[in-house]
Structure 1
Amino acid sequence: MMKEATVLIVEDEPMTREGLRKALESWGAGKYRFDVKDNGFEALEYIRNHADIELLITDIRMPGMSGLDLVQALKEKKQGGIPPVILISGYAEFEYAQRAIHLGVVEYLLKPVSDCKLIEAVERALADYENRVRIGLMEKIMDPVLIDASRQLGGAGDAVAEAVRYIDEHLPEPLRLKDIADQVHLNPSYFSVLFKEQMGITYSDYVTRRRIQRAKELLVKTKLPIGDIAQKVGYIHVKYFNKMFKEYEHCTPGEYRKQNQTWPEPKNIWKFP
């Protein structure tokens, strides 16, 4: 079971700090852990030792280390990015907002902050973050050969384009070359040559890569057993699926899942050295 994600609140004023925490705990309904720190130095040390910070909410004006200095310190030590940041300030000064934008802060709120505005900002920040994590995950697991093939698809003829659509929609099925050639009303030999010419990849290699790609998506996004995933992408025998997966990804499906697993939802995986 994955550890719950943390929202870290950094605020030197006790009443404001507790007000923020209570408002967010009521909103979060147990979905997040809300930790608090009263200065930037403690917050920096805390974040160094916790890889599950999904959102940082910090005041700007604090003794010793400002909220902006805290964000700057995080960016200088980042590995894979920092959590989204909401800055809170009682000072509506342009240079603060300007530097916040430069540092990539996602929200900038002025005191006094109403519960409604706070929660709206938190929801936007978390939604933006999780969307970025999903996009990053898909970029990470996408097969570069399939990316090149998809670019070729724009210039492919109707027969090859129809074949690709059929393959993608029927991955659990046998997908023999002859059957697909019949589907697009072409001679199998001619279809094979045409597919390679227009897609830059053989028919057999394309089908295998699409199956492995879909398997990777299911491995990192679901809890489905590997045997079920094998069947969903067109492999009757799980041993053969494991063999083909390792041939293309240089690891077993189980190892791949452990390395890239994100369910039940994407979480922050950045950390300090």
Structure 2
Amino acid sequence: MRSRTILIVDDEPRSREGIKKILRVWAAGQYDILTASNGGTAMQILEKIPVELMITDIRMPEISGLTLVRQMRERLQRQPSVILISGYAQFEYALAALRLSVVDYLLKPVGREKLIASVENALKVGEEQEHIVFMRKMADPQLMAIREKEAVLSDSVRQAMHYVETHIEEAISLQGVAGYVHLNGSYFSALFKEQCQMNFSEYVIRRKLQKAKELLLKTNLPIAEIASRTGYQRVKYFNKLFKEYEGMSPGRYRSMRNEVEAQIQ
């Protein structure tokens, strides 16, 4: 597990080292505290090392703190949280910080308690953003599209979706669900496809695999147990379906959890 990193960027040595000293005591070894005296050096660090939080002064020669944040937003795939510090209470700075989605804007001199509170909040915001990005990657976009228009679906289709949700561990057939919603099988099949732009059988597979992905990432259950909990008694068939829809094996998908955890730890 790699160390987590906080980067302090300030051209004033006294301010830079003062913040570093406060955060080093607060971090108690849980974070690496790096410093840079200018925006160019900071950008080099950001491009080489995953940084959870950057604290940067706004007014610096050559590359200002605002310019540094803009460059970071354009170049980096993984975005650290940002706290801006300034010796000047200018409205324009605060407005620019807001536009750049900066977590906090602090005025010098920054007191110890205020600095630590701001850092803890910024790190929490960063973790929440990482989690949101991760969950979006995990979610099936076609299932999300159906969920977004659930309010306009017919009662029969909504009831069928609820049935799938509550019987995810069972083998689910079109005829069985059509009987549950009191419709003819052929009519139900056509109705579901018309409203969801997806065959009912494909919906069931995608929903079961979505549940399987959640179990793979959130538990340490054996893959055979996960297959069983999503209604597949034959693990070989479960693996085949999973690879067909996700482009990788269940084991490889599970390893993504460790990779993401390594990024946010």
Give the TM-score of the pair, scaled to structure 2.
0.83
User: Residue type matched to 1:95 in 2?
Assistant: E
Moved more, 136-145 or 83-92: 136-145
User: Residue type matched to 2:53 in 1?
Assistant: L
Paired residue for 1:62, among 60, 63, 69? 60
Shift in alpha-carbon separation, 1:196–1:66, aligned structure 2, 3 A: closer
Identify the structure with bigger relative contact order (alpha carbons < 8 Å, sequence gap 6+).
1
Partner of 1:113, secondary structure, is coil
User: Residue type matched to 1:19 in 2?
Assistant: G
Q: CA deviation at 1:222?
A: 4.7
Q: Does 1:32 align with 2:34?
A: no
- Partner deviation per Cα, 1:199-248 (whole Å, 9 max, x = no partner): 33222111101112222334445554433432332322322111001111
Tell me, in whole angstroms, the C-alpha distance in 2 between the residues paired with 1:255 and 1:175: 27
Match of 1:271 in 2: none
Tell me, in whole angstroms, the C-alpha distance in 1 between the residues paired with 2:40 and 2:100: 18
Tell me, in whole angstroms, the C-alpha distance in 2 between the residues paired with 1:242 and 1:216: 12
- Partner deviation per Cα, 1:140-186 (whole Å, 9 max, x = no partner): 33323223332453222223212211212332222233443343344
User: Residue type matched to 1:37 in 2?
Assistant: A
Tell me, in whole angstroms, the C-alpha distance in 2 between the residues paired with 1:224 and 1:55: 34
Q: Is the 8 A contact 1:10 1:59 kept in 2?
A: yes
Partner of 1:108, secondary structure, is strand
Shift in alpha-carbon separation, 1:171–1:82, aligned structure 2, 3 A: same
Q: Is the 8 A contact 2:2 2:262 kept in 1?
A: no
Q: Is the 8 A contact 2:22 2:112 kept in 1?
A: yes
- Partner deviation per Cα, 1:18-44 (whole Å, 9 max, x = no partner): 432343344445443322233333222
User: Residue type matched to 1:199 in 2?
Assistant: C
User: Residue type matched to 1:230 in 2?
Assistant: A
Shift in alpha-carbon separation, 1:266–1:185, aligned structure 2, 3 A: farther
Partner of 1:173, secondary structure, is coil
Match of 2:145 in 1: 148
User: Residue type matched to 1:7 in 2?
Assistant: I
The Cα RMSD (Å) is: 2.9
Tell me, in whole angstroms, the C-alpha distance in 1 between the residues paired with 2:164 and 2:261: 29
Shift in alpha-carbon separation, 1:217–1:4, aligned structure 2, 3 A: farther
Moved more, 144-153 or 239-248: 144-153
Partner of 1:130, secondary structure, is helix
User: Residue type matched to 2:119 in 1?
Assistant: V
Gaps of 5+ in 2: none
Q: Is the 8 A contact 1:220 1:262 kept in 2?
A: no
Q: Is the 8 A contact 2:103 2:122 kept in 1?
A: yes
Q: Is the 8 A contact 1:86 1:109 kept in 2?
A: yes
Give the TM-score of the pair, scaled to structure 1.
0.81
Shift in alpha-carbon separation, 1:89–1:164, aligned structure 2, 3 A: same
Match of 2:212 in 1: 215
Shift in alpha-carbon separation, 1:31–1:233, aligned structure 2, 3 A: farther
Counting only pairs closer than 5 Å after superposition, residues 227-242 of structure 1 correspond to structure 2 as 227-242=224-239
Q: CA deviation at 1:108?
A: 0.8
Match of 2:125 in 1: 128
Tell me, in whole angstroms, the C-alpha distance in 2 between the residues paired with 1:98 and 1:141: 34
Partner of 1:53, secondary structure, is coil
